[in-house]
């Protein structure tokens, strides 16, 4: 048997054998120890008589397998994470008893111990194929089934699943499979849950532990009362209680918005949101019980960008209840149908149903910039990506699947019209309720409501890779009147596809009375082919700034005419609309990383923007991209001077910022990322912030900001290992342990880097979050002398990582440990040699390596551009 990496062909073959109805009776014993748990599964299914297939299961031990009343030898039928089932009947029952392992990596059933109070918390994470880490299952999305769950747990715990509990009873006399086993020293409860509707296995879920809980109800649009609940760890309960009512309100607004927009009320029996520790994703759309990373429980001050992102995340997962859960993809090549739609519609809901009205500016600066970066890598792929096996799926949770797809859907809404678009979505959801669907099914419904032929649109937008660039050319008379305006569309040679766009061209001028740059005119049109004349522009006065893709209606790179470029560079901070600023800023950032705009001018333009920007996510990304530019893209001979300039300017911006503002908080945090060893002024400022000798009105030095300062001091060797440990002892929590690991790893010494490298690779006791903190700290110290020794080691270690780690941990290590501050020419050379010698390596592995090497290749090219200026 080929093992755990299920291929698309194998899934299709199994789908042709296994037939509905499929029903699972799953019983879990969570009382047998700290390392493993008992798993008992009875699976009832139909099949083609005489055929053979297999169940998926990752387990330490399989003690019994019974197929249609016949006991099978586990040693013969269980291998390579599969249980072979031969000579099936029309109706079949298979029983599997196993001992499965808790994870500390966020995969399967994760077990976390809170150091602040010793409480144990369990939660499941089953996407892509990790239900098989908990029970025997046909673990593919198109083999939908119904599920009955029973869970034996300590009496003090609560247990939640996809459905409401049918009963909770004391249970201390026998194990779940019915064999007698007295447990006189343990008091337990057996939780039995109502049967689920038909659903995919990766959407099933179990959470257990002494979670704090809050409850309310929602009056659903179909007349039902839907119970709602939120949960978190006890140690976070005080902080979370401040936000629970707000998050319930956001969720209820989401219920109402989606039901109205799609004409389909929320379809499930309840809706829980459970905030869980050490999560390896943002959140997961388990039916009726969403899991969310508990870094979204805010004990310390956070940016407005993160507060808004929490709202978008809540609404993203809620959107999945319809799109992904109610109707599910048949295979992972349509993963984008889930994620792109949820990303698009959660941004729409955030902008129109909550107080975060600038959500589309947030989307442009954050999500769309992620898409543009991903789409310009050698590993770019179509939105409808070819998925040959599960490994292909893992790497496609990326900026194309989420952000490019969402941006393209936004463009499609304008292309077909909003009313017709959502009528098509309503019809799609109704037709395929509780079943599986494909892209063709969706496009068919949208064609029927819009009257447009979407096959050609889909072929160019969804089935081809790459991104276009649209550039304006203006001819004008001496008196400033436009004679002609032409938009030219280009595509990279390797993805030479020109696409149809629905976009707007904005005219912007400086209003002398207010000092703001305001829009004075707007032209909306269809753009297709290489050149498109903007006929409506002829005869209009030429504006100071001509903005292609005003309002960010389509997915494209844009460029400026020369006069607009100069004006936008000088006046970006004066543009009065957040979305327009985001579109302009993103274009300048794209030009900078393409080696078309000088790095130092981008830095200075960004500093001017930061003095005025009010949209938190644009602010956040501007800071991040300025850091990348200053550390990597400026000419090597100018790097130290530019970094000192940025640090000094940021400190002055902190002084000038409004006390207690989001800008002040972000600027102070950013300043602490520019420390260099031996910089006495920086060390004094950082220590002063920690002691209170340096203070800014409104800037609170709370727990998380304290650790930001500690991290900054450690990076310049002004904070010892003993100091870090002493800081942790003041308040040892899950989060502070992670901060401490990161602070030890970020220290600017060879010994600290050797320790971090060893811990990340060899300490299997680290949770996924602790491992990521160590890896981040290892790579974050911006000193080439510390990174250089690991350039060769990195490529020598890749194969070992891939062989010995789960995919999620391999991804964290291969991305986190990449020594990006080493000489980019060396990294490119070593990377090319590794790739040349690993032509037969797994595609998913090669993709991780290719993307890291591509970042170094870009750094090398852009740095050379700036050195040549």
Which three-class secondary structure string do you get for 115-173? CCCCCEEEEEECCCCCHHHCCCECCCCCCCEEEEEEEEEECCCEEEECCCEEEEEECCC
User: Do the Cβ atoms of 349 and 366 come closer than 8 Å?
Assistant: no
DSSP percent split of the chain into helix, strand, coil, nearest 5:
45, 20, 30
Catalytic-labelled residue, pool 285, 317, 613, 615: 317
Structure confidence at residue 185 (pLDDT): 43
**Total residues belonging to the chain:** 869
User: Could you tell me the domains of the chain?
Assistant: 1-208 (2.60.40.1730), 211-303 (3.30.2010.30), 327-461 (1.10.390.10), 468-554+556-584 (2.60.40), 598-701 (no CATH)
Tokens encoding 415 = 């292309």
Residue-level pLDDT at 180: 39
Residues 92-143: tens digit of each pLDDT: 999 999 999 999 999 999 999 999 999 999 999 999 889 999 999 999 999 9
Average pLDDT, integer, range 398-404: 92
Q: How confident is the model at residue 176, as a pLDDT?
A: 53
Q: How far is CA 851 from CA 302, 394, 658, 820, 835, in A?
A: 30, 15, 40, 12, 12
Tell me, what's the pLDDT at 336? 87
Q: Which pLDDT value is given to residue 514?
A: 96
pLDDT of residue 16 exceeding 50, the answer is yes
Tell me what pLDDT residue 386 has: 83
pLDDT at 459 over 60: yes
Instruction: Label residue 177 by pLDDT band (50, 70, 90).
Output: low
Report whether 350 contacts 253 (CB < 8 A): no
Q: Average pLDDT in the 484-504 region?
A: 96
Distance CA(375)–CA(467), nearest Å, equals: 7
Give the pLDDT confidence of 741-790 residue by residue, as tens digits.
999 999 999 999 999 999 999 999 999 999 999 999 999 999 999 999 99
The answer to whether 749 and 756 are in contact (CB under 8 A) is no
State the Cα–Cα distance between residues 780 and 820, nearest whole angstrom.
9
- Calpha distance 556→469 (Å, rounded): 6
Indicate whether 1 pLDDT > 50. no
Cβ-in-10-Å burial (0-12, 13-18, 19+) of 758 comes to exposed
CA angle 217–221–225, rounded 5-degree value:
30
Rounded average pLDDT over 384-390: 87
Helix (H) or strand (E) holding 225: strand 225-232
Token code pair at residue 836: 């040349």
184 pLDDT band, cuts 50/70/90, is very low
Of 173-177, 328-332, 341-345, which range is least confident? Answer: 173-177
Give residue 564's pLDDT band: very low, low, confident or very high (50, 70, 90).
very high
- 215-251 tens-digit pLDDT: 999 999 999 999 999 999 999 999 999 999 999 999 9
Per residue in 699-722, pLDDT tens?
999 999 999 999 999 999 999 999
pLDDT at residue 400 in the model: 92
What pLDDT band is residue 21 in, cutting at 50, 70 and 90?
very high
Range name among 358-362, 660-664, 709-713, 841-845 with the lowest pLDDT average = 841-845
Sole residue written with tokens 């920086």? 682
State pLDDT tens for residues 504-515: 999 999 999 999
User: For the CA atoms of the chain, what is the radius of gyration?
Assistant: 28
Task: Work out the number of other CB atoms within 10 angstroms of the CB of residue 421.
Answer: 20
Q: Hunting for tokens 């050609």 — which residue is that?
A: 456
Tell me the mean pLDDT in the region 296-307: 97
- Of 668, 842, 677, 647, the residue nearest 303 (C-alpha): 668
Specify the DSSP class assigned to residue 542. Answer: P
> What average pLDDT does the segment 431-435 reach?
97
Quote the CA–CA distance of 166 and 153 in Å, as a whole number. Answer: 16
Q: Which residue intervals of 384-462 are DSSP H helices?
A: 390-395, 405-416, 418-431, 439-450, 454-461
Q: Which residues of 772-785 are buried (b: 16+ CB within 10 A; e: fewer)?
A: bbbbbbbbbbbbbe
Please give the mean pLDDT across all residues of the chain: 95
Q: Answer whether residue 802 shows pLDDT above 70.
A: yes
- SS3 of 478-518: the string is CCCEEEEEEEEEECCHHHCCCCCEEEEEEEEEEECCCCEEE
* More reliable by pLDDT, 5 or 464: 464
> What integer is the mean pLDDT of 164-178?
73
Catalytic (active site) residue 317? yes
User: In the sheet that 482-490 helps form, which strands lie side by side, from edge to edge?
Assistant: 531-533, 482-490, 469-476, 557-558
Question: Which tokens hold the place of 518?
Answer: 């305001």
pLDDT of residue 394: 82
Note the pLDDT of residue 206: 98
Task: Please tell me the predicted confidence (pLDDT) of residue 693.
Answer: 95
In this predicted structure, the answer to whether residue 179 has a pLDDT above a threshold of 70 is no
Q: What is the pLDDT of residue 392?
A: 85
- Residue 580 CA from chain centroid, whole number: 25
Mean pLDDT across the stretch 155-162? Answer: 96
Please compute the mean of the pLDDT values over residues 348-358 and round it to a whole number: 97
Residue 725: predicted pLDDT:
98
Q: Count the Cβ atoms, other than its own, within 10 Å of residue 16.
A: 12
Task: Reply yes or no on whether the pLDDT at 175 is more than 60.
Answer: no
Question: pLDDT grade, residue 186 (50/70/90)?
Answer: low
pLDDT tier at 4, thresholds 50, 70, 90: confident
């Amino acid at each position: 048997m080929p093992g755990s990496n299920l291929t698309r062909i194998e899934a299709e073959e199994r789908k042709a054998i296994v037939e509905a109805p499929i029903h699972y009776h799953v019983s879990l014993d969570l009382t047998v120890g700290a390392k493993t748990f008992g798993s008992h599964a009875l699976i009832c299914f139909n099949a083609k008589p005489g055929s053979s297939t297999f169940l998926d299961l990752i387990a330490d031990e399989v003690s019994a397998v019974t197929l249609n009343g016949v006991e099978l030898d586990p040693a013969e039928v269980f291998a390579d994470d599969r249980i072979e089932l031969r000579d099936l009947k029309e109706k079949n029952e298979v029983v599997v008893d196993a001992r499965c392992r808790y994870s500390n990596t966020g995969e399967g059933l994760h077990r976390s111990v809170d150091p602040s109070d010793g409480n144990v918390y369990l939660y499941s994470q089953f996407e892509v194929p990790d239900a098989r880490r908990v029970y025997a299952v046909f673990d593919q999305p198109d083999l939908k089934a119904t599920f009955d769950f029973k869970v034996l747990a300590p009496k003090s715990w609560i247990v939640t699943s996809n459905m409401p509990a049918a009963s909770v009873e004391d249970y201390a006399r026998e194990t779940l499979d019915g064999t007698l086993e007295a447990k006189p020293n343990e008091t337990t409860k057996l939780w039995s849950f109502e049967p689920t509707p038909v659903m995919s296995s990766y959407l099933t879920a179990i959470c257990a532990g002494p979670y704090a809980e809050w409850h309310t109800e929602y009056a659903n649009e179909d007349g039902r009362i839907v119970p709602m609940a939120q949960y978190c760890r006890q140690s976070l309960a005080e902080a979370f209680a401040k936000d629970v009512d707000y998050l319930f309100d956001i969720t209820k607004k989401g219920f109402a918005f989606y039901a109205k927009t799609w004409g389909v009320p929320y379809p499930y029996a309840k809706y829980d949101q459970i905030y869980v520790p050490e999560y390896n994703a943002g959140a997961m759309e388990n039916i009726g019980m969403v899991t969310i990373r508990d870094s979204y429980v805010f004990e310390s001050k956070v940016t407005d960008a993160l507060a808004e992102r929490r709202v978008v995340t809540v609404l993203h997962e809620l959107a999945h209840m319809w799109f992904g859960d109610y109707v599910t993809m048949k295979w992972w090549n349509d993963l984008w149908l889930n994620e792109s739609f949820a990303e698009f519609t959660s941004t729409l809901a955030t902008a129109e149903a909550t107080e975060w009205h600038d959500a589309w500016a947030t989307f442009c600066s954050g999500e769309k910039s992620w898409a543009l970066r991903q789409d310009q890598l050698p590993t770019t792929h179509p939105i409808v990506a070819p998925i040959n096996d599960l490994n292909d799926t893992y790497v496609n949770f990326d900026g194309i699947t989420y952000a490019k797809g969402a941006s393209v859907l936004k463009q499609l809404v304008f292309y077909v019209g909003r009313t017709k678009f959502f009528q098509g979505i309503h019809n799609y959801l109704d037709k395929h309720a509780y079943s599986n669907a494909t892209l063709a099914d969706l496009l068919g419904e949208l064609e029927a409501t819009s009257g447009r032929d979407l096959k050609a649109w889909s072929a160019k937008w969804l089935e081809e890779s790459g991104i276009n660039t649209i550039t304006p050319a203006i001819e004008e008379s001496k008196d400033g009147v436009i004679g002609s305006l032409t938009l030219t569309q280009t595509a990279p040679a390797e993805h030479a596809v020109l696409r149809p766009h629905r976009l707007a061209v904005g005219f912007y001028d400086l209003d002398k009375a207010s000092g703001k740059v305001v829009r004075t005119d707007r032209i909306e049109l269809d753009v297709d082919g290489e050149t498109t004349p903007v006929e409506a522009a002829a005869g209009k006065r030429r504006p100071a700034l001509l903005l292609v893709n005003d309002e960010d209606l389509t997915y494209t790179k844009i460029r400026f005419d020369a006069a607009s470029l100069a004006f936008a560079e000088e006046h970006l901070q004066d543009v009065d609309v957040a979305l327009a600023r985001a579109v302009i800023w993103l274009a300048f950032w794209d030009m900078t990383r393409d080696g078309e705009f000088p790095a130092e001018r981008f830095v200075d333009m960004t500093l001017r923007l930061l003095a005025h920007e009010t949209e938190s996510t644009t602010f956040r990304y501007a800071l991040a991209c300025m850091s990348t530019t200053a550390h990597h893209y400026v000419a090597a001979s100018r790097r130290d001077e530019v970094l000192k300039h940025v640090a000094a300017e940021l400190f002055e911006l902190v002084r000038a910022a409004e006390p207690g503002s989001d800008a002040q908080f972000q600027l102070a945090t950013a300043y602490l990322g520019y420390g260099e060893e031996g910089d006495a002024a920086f060390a004094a400022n950082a220590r002063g912030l920690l002691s209170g000798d340096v203070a800014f009105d409104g800037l609170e030095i709370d727990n998380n900001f304290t650790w930001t300062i500690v991290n900054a001091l450690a990076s310049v060797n002004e904070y010892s290992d003993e100091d870090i440990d002493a800081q942790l002892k003041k308040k040892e929590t899950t989060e502070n342990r992670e901060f401490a690991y990161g602070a030890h790893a970020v220290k600017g010494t060879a010994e600290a880097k050797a320790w971090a490298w060893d811990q990340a690779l060899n300490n299997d006791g680290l949770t996924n979050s602790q491992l990521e903190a160590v890896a981040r700290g290892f790579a974050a110290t911006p000193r080439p002398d510390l990174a250089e020794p690991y350039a060769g080691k990195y490529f020598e270690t890749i194969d070992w990582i891939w062989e010995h780690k789960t995919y999620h941990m391999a991804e964290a290590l291969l991305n986190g440990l990449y020594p990006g501050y080493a000489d980019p020419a060396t990294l490119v050379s070593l990377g090319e040699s590794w790739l040349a010698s690993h032509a037969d390596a797994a595609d998913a592995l090669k993709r991780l390596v290719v993307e890291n090497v591509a970042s170094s290749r870009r750094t090398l090219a852009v740095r050379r551009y700036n050195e040549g200026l």
